[in-house]
Amino acid sequence: AIRAAQLGKTTAVVESDKAGGRCLNYACIPAKTMLHTAEVFDEAKNSAYIGVKVEGAELDWEALGQRRTDVSASLSGGVKGLFDRNKIKFIEGEGSLTAEGEVKVGDATYGAEKIILATGSTAQAIPGVEFSDRVLDTWAAWSLPEQPKKIAVVGAGASGSEIASAYIRFGTEVILVEMLDQILPAEDKDVVRVVERTFKKQGIEISTGTPVENVEVGSDSVKFTYGENSAEVDYLVIAGGRKPDIDGLGLDAAGVKLDENGRVQVDEFQKTSNEKIYAIGDLTRGAALAHKAMEEGIVAAESAAGADTHPVDLDLVPGATFCQPQVASVGLTEAQAKEKGLDIKTGKLKLGGVGAGTVYDDKDGMVKLVVEKEYGEIVGAHIVGDRACDMIAELVAVMALEGGIQELQRIMHPHPTISEAVLDAARAVDKWATHA
């Protein structure tokens, strides 16, 4: 909406809830607020070895909840302010498309030259289980009124791993269950091994290759089985995936087609089968990530306004998981590259290999690069460590600008920083890392 307004278009946003949408108010931002508190609380309890003793550190759940609310409210207000400054009309209510290509909100109907759909996604439960007061989606897991004694998280992707990581540091017992053969199934196996080792050290019980079955929901607990084990927990959190939020949107009436996966079909400029309607984010193909949606929104707005634009490269959408340790990646894992038949070489460097890794006690983390042999193209980059999510942007930039491993090997990095591990991982590809 802001980009469309910048390009001189009269713009309106239809929203049934708060400005900023779901990521800001219920998902990404509240989650990271909670994770930050978990990090600080954990450090307060475990910093004596660096000379900081904190006696009687306690978690104030009510204050934590208030801060979570305040952070989202502040950012939502900021979005509303941006709307006002850009003269964007904020229409409260649920919108749907009409056969005439208009937008109906309550009793009112609005015409537009172009329409961009950005309704996001909703949580999916597992077969035979419905969401309730005790069976939670990920949003509800971040806003519990009291700290639970024990939870189980079903699905060990990014969201599930973040929830498990936060709650174990809050002092809650955590069981993390994943149907596939590893936690963080989308990530490189070398990275996952570091996370799994840390999770187990923190006290998370991990069960992979295991379905959750025989779920019995009581008034104050949930019983279930997983493999040969059974458990009773305060809450069962389902973090197994999301589906496009298209119910009641009027796609059929407007002639907007879905693809074979039930997502809105779009071209490289986010245009749907209806020439005047665009769709972005979780409604469309690719990962359900806020930063992907934001960039697609800019492409859609520019295309709709008739401006020059550049399609989003879905091969360069970074992933960022804010568990402890953090995980970030872009491109192919080593296994995926081999499955594609690429002739590759890899470079790895543990963060303990650079001075900052020891200074900040981030020695177990790692940078791993996957490189095509003939021309040195970087086809995948993977980082695990306390600052991984901030570090990945450098590698996205190098790959987007078509820099090869030869260029990265010669880019000077400041000392002493964790980012030096990126430089030496690049040099490790050709076996001349200075810290290995």
* Number of other residues whose CB lies within 10 A of the CB of residue 305: 18
Catalytic residue among 36, 382, 413, 415: 415
Residue 413 bears catalytic tag: no
Q: Any idea what the Cα angle at residue 330 is, between residues 1 and 322, rounded to 5°? A: 75
Residues 6 or more apart whose CB falls under 8 angstroms from that of 159 comprise 31, 138, 239
Buried b (16+ CB within 10 A) or exposed e, 198-237: bbeeeebbbbbebebeebeeeeebbebebeeeebebbbbb
3-class DSSP state for residue 42? Answer: helix
Is residue 370 within 8 Å of residue 379, measured between CB atoms? yes
Q: Any idea what the Cα angle at residue 139 is, between residues 133 and 142, rounded to 5°? A: 90
Q: Which of 223, 186, 153 is nearest to 318 (CA)?
A: 186
Give the CA radius of gyration of the chain.
Answer: 23
Give bridge partners of residue 349 from the DSSP assignment: 367
Separation between Cα atoms, residue 258 and residue 285, nearest integer Å: 10
Separation between Cα atoms, residue 394 and residue 387, nearest integer Å: 12
Q: Looking at this protein, which amino acid is placed at residue 59?
A: L
Is residue 192 within 8 Å of residue 65, measured between CB atoms? no
Could you list the active site residues? 415
